[in-house]
Amino acid sequence: MDETRRTTQPPEPGATARGSGHAPRSARFAEAVRQAVAEGLLGETRPLAGFLDADGVRRSVSSLREAFATEPCLRVLHTFAAKAASLIPVLRLLADCGMGCEVSGPGELRLAFEAGFPPERIVLDSPAKTRDELRLALALGVAVNADSFGEVRRIEELRSPGSPSVLGLRVNPQVGGGSIDAMSTATATSKFGVALRDPGAREQVVRTFAERPWLTRLHAHVGSQGCSLELMAAGIAETYRLAEEINGALGTRRVTGIDIGGGLPVNFDDDEVRPAFSEYVAALRTAAPGLLDGRYDLVTEFGRSLLAKNGFIGARVEYTKDAGGRRIALTHAGAQIATRTVLVPDAWPLRIGAFDQEGRPRSGPQMVQDVAGPCCFAGDVVARARELPELREGDFVVLYDTGAYYFSTPWSYNSLPRPAVYGFAGESGALRFAPVRDAQTLDSVAAESGLHHVDALTGLVGDR
């Protein structure tokens, strides 16, 4: 487990740090856009790219560790939810920061190993693990949270007595949902975990731990975006009370650890980082004081809250047009990279920045404009009726707060190639860039679309 205590607390990323020399995020990102255009990372032949501030990521991790380090006896393994940025160099950076990794399938498990996370710092979660996945995890010594009683029985069949894997059971405290249904995982009918308030479920959990001494951890995750700190803390408090109940019924400390998940929501309205990790710890302390007294090892699984505000997407304006009295800027950033924002715009609105052809912030009178993407359906619009300085052909738009999920999890709609991703670090005026993922080539697009089997179906027809 990590020792989370530190002697100083770095500034929250996004705000101007008093006396720290860190520029506000908006100014730092503006400088990154200018340099990216000057160095040819964004331009006519490279009209779309993602960017991640490596220094900002390190500060976010430090803020997380410091928040939990206020509890002197607490031991915490902080893991990063790989789904939030499934890019090996990003995962390597987080491993270098002392994080563990939470994975949700064989692909993410492979990425975690390639990034250098040791098995004992990896946690496997998923509601539909196969026997092969479980065999591999148990052989490697990766921690596993079973999602159901059926999976507990499957693990019992597969595990060897000497397996070093820490094994737990995910429960659903059924405390309700937040404002975004799809992000709420503790509703009455959630597909995740054992539903604790269903008749007989709580008693069955206690029996399951009583009959299996190798089960030593409880896991719960209430949700993420759209969930309040109070709702999240209530779910974790219910899980803590269950751990106390199990240990009391068995007369021993069978449950030694609680995985409290992640899910801290992100402020998409402005540059400020809110809520802070320290506010979440305060909410936990209020809801379940005993959780933080050191009797239980904790695991966290934060993702979006560590990366979202440390990244942005830059896209070239290919054309502008007017329709129905509205200016429309047609860019290369659409549903293929801002999927949630395009499909569920009210839940996932993004701030937009306007930059000129040299990558400098646009100024001038504001006008109402739509910022649309390249995908071939009418709803492919990332921002509607926004007041921005007039955008022109060859300008650039920036989609802020997109360091998690957006550029790392693209959608292959219209067979649009995946964009390049770059990391940057250093002081403003002298930022250094490094490739994180190369732009996808058209050869790769064709290969993924079955190029090597081009005659497979016509061959079937010819065989008749």
How much is the pLDDT for 8? 30
Which amino acid would we find at residue 29?
A: F
Q: Per the omega criterion (within 30 degrees of 0), is the bond before 275 cis?
A: yes
Region 378-393 average pLDDT: 97
319, containing H or E segment: strand 311-323
Could you report the per-residue pLDDT of 45-81, keeping only the tens digit for each? 999 999 999 999 999 999 999 999 988 889 999 999 9
Q: Which of 141, 134, 132, 72 is nearest to 113 (CA)?
A: 141
pLDDT of 181 reads 86
Structure tokens at 389: 């300085």
CB 423 within 8 A of CB 433: yes
**pLDDT grade for 463, boundaries at 50, 70 and 90:** low
Q: Find, among 342, 318, 314, the residue nearest to 328 by Cα.
A: 318
Other C-beta atoms lying within 10 Å of the C-beta of residue 199 = 8
In this predicted structure, the answer to whether residue 146 has a pLDDT above a threshold of 50 is: yes
Predicted pLDDT of residue 23: 62
Taking phi over 0 as left and psi of -120 to 50 as alpha, with beta for the rest, 229 belongs to alpha
Is 10:19 a contact under the CB 8 Å cutoff? no
Distance between CA 366 and CA 428 in Å, rounded? 27
- 150 burial (CB, 10 Å; 0-12 / 13-18 / 19+) is exposed
pLDDT in tens, 409-442: 999 999 999 999 999 999 877 999 999 999 999 9
**Tokens encoding 16:** 């101007």
Weakest-pLDDT range from 3-12, 194-203, 259-268, 328-337: 3-12
Contact 87, 66 (CB under 8 A): no
CA-based max dimension of the chain: 78
What the block records as the tokens of 400 is 């802020």
Mean pLDDT to the nearest integer, 268-285: 94
What tokens appear for 119 in the block? 């098995």
Across 17-31, 46-60, 126-140, 340-354, least confident range:
17-31
Average pLDDT, integer, range 186-210? 92
Q: Which CATH class, in words, describes the domain spanning 52-306? A: alpha beta
Both tokens of 436, joined, read 């994180």
pLDDT confidence band for 225 (50 / 70 / 90) = confident
CA angle (415, 420, 424) in 5-degree steps: 160
Q: Which residue has the higher pLDDT, 8 or 405?
A: 405
Q: What is the pLDDT, as a whole number, of residue 461?
A: 81
Nearest CA among 297, 205, 292, 193 for reference residue 253: 297
Rounded-to-integer distance, Cα 372 and Cα 102, Å: 34
Question: Is residue 223 very low, low, confident or very high in pLDDT (cuts 50, 70, 90)?
Answer: confident
Domain ranges of the chain: 52-306, 309-437
Q: CA gyration radius for the chain?
A: 24
Percent of the chain with pLDDT over 90: 85
pLDDT at 1: 55
Predicted local distance difference test score (pLDDT) of residue 213: 96
In the beta sheet, which residues pair with residue 323?
A: 326
3-state per-residue secondary structure call for 412-434 = CHHHCCCCEEEEEECCCCCCEEE
Q: What rounded mean pLDDT belongs to the chain?
A: 92
Decide if pLDDT at 110 tops 60.
yes
Q: How confident is the model at residue 183 (pLDDT cuts 50, 70, 90)?
A: confident
Mean pLDDT to the nearest integer, 370-397: 97
- The identity of residue 197, as a single letter, is R
Tokens for 27? 């100014």
pLDDT tops 80 at residue 15: no
Name the more confident of 184 and 321.
Answer: 321
Q: Is the pTM of this model over 0.75?
A: yes
CATH topology (fold) of 309-437 = Lyase, Ornithine Decarboxylase; Chain A, domain 1 (2.40.37)
User: Which of 219, 294, 225, 290 lies closest to 261, judged by CA?
Assistant: 219
**What span, in angstroms and rounded, lies between the C-alpha atoms of 209 and 243?**
10
